[in-house]
Amino acid sequence: MMETKNRSILNMTRSMLKIKKINFTTFKSLVRSLRYLTCTRPDILYGVRLVSWFMETLTMTHIKASKQIL
């Protein structure tokens, strides 16, 4: 029961993202670049880690947060 509920929420999220035309590859590339920057900028490590957790369930909030880290 819980698994089907989670799956339906995930499907709704994906359909909402398709409407807003969010480019997953661009976001993943941005997160990879931010991870690389953490070698020289350890102060952004916590924010990059939080954004990285949500790479599969991407929303506009996560994109805004990753842009704010930059």
Task: Produce one character per residue of 31-58: b if its CB has 16 or more CB atoms within 10 Å, e if not.
Answer: beebeeeeeeeeebeeebeebeeeeeeb
Kindly state the tokens that stand for 48: 């990059």
Which pTM value belongs to this model? Answer: 0.60
**pLDDT tens, residue order, the chain (70 aa):** 445 545 655 565 555 555 455 678 888 888 888 888 888 888 888 988 888 888 777 778 878 888 888 8
